[in-house]
Amino acid sequence: MAKITVISQKGKLVGTWIPPQSTVAGAPVSKPVAGLGHELHEIEIEDPESYVRRKALPELHQMVKRSLRLK
């Protein structure tokens, strides 16, 4: 299981961010921040990078929407 960050606005999915699994020692790691009117959520899903490798991001977004009950 890995945590992903989800941003929503007024009950609608705005975006998802999958943190990098490996980083170079000492390298900065960025993380999204919720803007005005946005909500930041963190959820755990199994192997989120597999959706990127399979180019199945719509499938990932549908799962996130169901999990957070978003439109």
Q: How confident is the model at residue 31, as a pLDDT? A: 87
Give DSSP secondary structure letters for 33-50.
---TTEEEEEEEES-THH
Q: How confident is the model at residue 21, as a pLDDT? A: 77
**64: helix, strand or coil:** helix
Q: Which pTM was predicted?
A: 0.84
pLDDT of residue 62 exceeding 80, the answer is yes
How far is the C-alpha of 42 from the C-alpha of 6, rounded, in Å?
A: 6
The pLDDT tens digits of the residues spanning 3-57 come to: 999 999 999 999 999 988 777 778 888 889 999 999 999 999 999 999 989 999 9
pLDDT of residue 60 exceeding 90, the answer is yes
